[in-house]
């Protein structure tokens, strides 16, 4: 079975983790700050806050930006549910912005129209979460310009995009956002098993995210309501969570980070090979924006039904041939949980037609650094069998 995504674990990774097991700290030791410094440096952001998942990173990012009841958060319907759930955790309401049919990212045109209408009805969003789908950056320059005009904050969901660039700057440099979050789930570009990171250039946001990661507890006397009782003293000054990353995960992350560039380069090689091998096959290969250097987390093709096949039969044929394809994603607004919230939020299943159309046609093909050319050829052959 060739999976659609798969981690790569080397002996160096294993040694890094076992070293931690033999050390004094399994949690709250030196590895997490080292991993944070490593990621901050690599993505050219000022502050990095490691957490136990990207979902937690999204949650503390929303909390740091003071999202709460009565607020709106907008994201794209073509994302993992976590990009929307973080708003609901904070008691806020969620709405969606349709996608651009080429990039599968949030459409700037749709965003602009929606903002004009929201301004009239007094329902402007407090936060917008663009998702860099498949690793290719959204049009951040345009989204940032709209944030200046309409006063919303931006969290980049870069779960797919560590190692990618936009307009020559690393994704994570937060040039056009308040916070960027990354995921280290095993299917993503690098892994810590479970794990995530929030990156920001704003010290107050960094401080608040650290607080929310650790129960809302501080040991910083300057943040306390009274002088410390003694050296044991800490105060809980907000309601936070235990979202800490372990030392084992951080050590694995540091080790994996050494190969980030290599992994993204290999993903590009594979993407170029897919593009070339599909030259005369009736399917749409991924569009590449000239402003973006994608991390190529996913290689998503779109196909129309043809003589004797549909997306469903192609999907089933590939699975039967031992090829682990996937669909990213089922539009979030059609998930029963969000469908229930839709009548209050003003959307229904027919809203966001580009996202719905995309969902009928998309298939994610195997894409990961350890995928061999021979395996990739097998994927292409299996597809040709049914499409040609
Ligand atoms: C994977 C993913 C997440 C959640 O990441 P976890 O680390 O599993 O919590 C959020 N958003 C997107 C777009 C993702 O792909």
Q: Please give the span between the terminal C-alpha atoms of the chain, in angstroms, as a whole number.
A: 23
| Burial track 188-200 (b if 16+ CB lie within 10 A, e otherwise) | bbbbbbbbbbbbb
Atom of ligand 1 nearest to the CA of 184: 7
Q: Give the tokens for residue 270.
A: 């594979």
Q: How far is the CA of 54 from the centre of ligand 1 (A)?
A: 5
Report the separation in Å between the CA atom of 221 and the middle of ligand 1, taken as the mean of its atom positions: 35
pTM: 0.98
* Range list of H helices, 280-361: 311-320, 336-345, 353-361
* Pairing of β 235-236 and β 299-302: unpaired
* CA–CA separation, 321 and 313 (whole Å): 12
Rounded Cα distance between 328 and 358, Å, is 10
How far apart are alpha carbons 141 and 239 in whole angstroms? Answer: 34
With H, G, I as helix, E, B as strand and everything else as coil, classify residue 323.
strand
Render the burial of 352-361: b for 16+ CB within 10 Å, e for the rest: bebbbebbeb
Nearest Cα residue to atom 6 of ligand 1:
54
What does the alpha-carbon distance between residue 281 and residue 272 come to, in Å, rounded to a whole number? 15
> Which of 104, 161, 180, 185 to mutate for ligand 1's pocket (most ligand atoms within 8 Å of CB)?
185
How far is residue 158's CA from residue 57's CA, in Å, rounded to a whole number?
Answer: 11
Widest CA span of the chain, in angstroms? 77
- The residue written with tokens 């319907």 in the block is 77
Centre of ligand 1 to C-alpha 43, Å, is: 18
Probe residue for ligand 1, chosen from 61, 62, 73, 80 as the CB with the greatest number of ligand atoms within 8 Å: 80
CB 48 within 8 A of CB 158: no
| Three-state SS at 311 | helix
* Rounded Cα gap, residues 18 and 31, in angstroms: 13
Which of 123, 126, 188, 279 is an active site residue? 188
The tokens describing 288, both together, are 């590449």
Q: Can you tell me the distance from the alpha carbon of 249 to that of 192, in angstroms, rounded to the nearest whole number?
A: 5
Q: What is the DSSP letter of 329?
A: -
Distance 358 CA to ligand 1 centre (A): 20
CA of residue 103 to ligand 1 center, whole Å: 19
User: Which two three-digit tokens encode residue 47?
Assistant: 């502050």
* Best of 73, 99, 159, 198 for a ligand 1 pocket test (most atoms within 8 Å of beta carbon): 159
Active site residue 120: no
pLDDT tens by residue, the chain, 388 residues: 999 999 999 999 999 999 999 999 999 999 999 999 999 999 999 999 999 999 999 999 999 999 999 999 999 999 999 999 999 999 999 999 999 999 999 999 999 999 999 999 999 999 999 999 999 999 999 999 999 999 999 999 999 999 999 999 999 999 999 999 999 999 999 999 999 999 999 999 999 999 999 999 999 999 999 999 999 999 999 999 999 999 999 999 999 999 999 999 999 999 999 999 999 999 999 999 999 999 999 999 999 988 889 999 999 999 999 999 999 999 999 999 999 999 999 999 999 999 999 999 999 999 999 999 999 999 999 999 999 9
Query: Tokens 């991924």 correspond to what residue?
Result: 286
Apex 363 CA angle, 85 and 110, nearest 5: 55
Protein residues whose CB sits closer than 6 Å to any atom of ligand 1: 53-55, 79-80, 82-83, 131, 157, 159-160, 183, 185, 196
Of ligand 1's listed atoms, the one at least distance from the Cα of 196 is 7
- In this structure, the number of other CB atoms found within 10 A of the CB of residue 249 comes to 24
């Amino acid at each position: 079975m060739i999976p659609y995504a798969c981690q790569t674990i080397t002996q160096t990774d294993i040694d890094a983790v076992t070293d931690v097991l033999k050390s004094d700290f399994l949690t709250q030791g030196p590895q997490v700050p080292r991993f944070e410094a490593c990621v901050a440096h690599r993505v050219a952001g000022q502050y990095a806050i490691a957490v136990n998942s990207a979902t937690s990173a999204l949650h503390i990012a929303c909390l740091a930006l003071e999202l709460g009841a009565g607020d709106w958060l907008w994201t794209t319907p073509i994302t993992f549910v976590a990009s929307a759930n973080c708003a609901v955790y904070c008691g806020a309401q969620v709405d969606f912005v349709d996608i651009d049919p080429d990039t599968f990212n949030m459409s700037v045109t749709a965003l602009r129209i929606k903002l004009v209408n929201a301004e009239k009805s007094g329902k402007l969003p407090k936060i917008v979460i663009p998702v860099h789908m498949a690793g290719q950056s959204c049009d951040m320059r345009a989204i940032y310009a709209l944030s200046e005009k309409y006063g919303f904050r931006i969290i980049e969901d870069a779960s797919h995009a560590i190692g990618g660039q936009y307009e020559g700057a690393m994704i994570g440099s937060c040039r056009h956002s308040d916070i960027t979050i990354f995921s280290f789930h095993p299917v993503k570009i690098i892994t810590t098993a479970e794990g995530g990171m929030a990156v920001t250039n704003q010290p107050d946001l960094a401080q608040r995210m650290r607080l929310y990661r650790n129960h809302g507890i501080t040991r910083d006397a300057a943040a306390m309501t009274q002088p410390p009782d003694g050296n044991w003293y800490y105060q809980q000054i907000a309601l936070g969570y235990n979202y800490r990353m372990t030392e084992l995960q951080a050590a694995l992350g540091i080790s994996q980070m050494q190969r980030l560039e290599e992994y993204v380069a290999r993903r590009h090689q594979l993407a170029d090979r897919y593009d070339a091998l599909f030259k005369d096959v009736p399917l749409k290969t991924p569009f590449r924006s000239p402003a973006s250097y994608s991390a190529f987390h996913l290689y998503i093709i779109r196909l129309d039904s043809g003589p004797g096949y549909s997306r469903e039969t192609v999907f089933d044929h590939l699975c039967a041939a031992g090829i682990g394809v996937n669909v990213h994603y089922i539009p979030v607004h059609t998930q029963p949980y969000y469908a229930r919230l839709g009548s209050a939020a003003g959307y229904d299943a027919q809203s966001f037609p580009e996202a719905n159309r995309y969902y009928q046609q998309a298939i994610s093909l195997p894409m990961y650094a350890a995928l061999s050319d021979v395996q990739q050829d097998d994927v292409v052959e299996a597809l040709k069998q049914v499409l040609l």
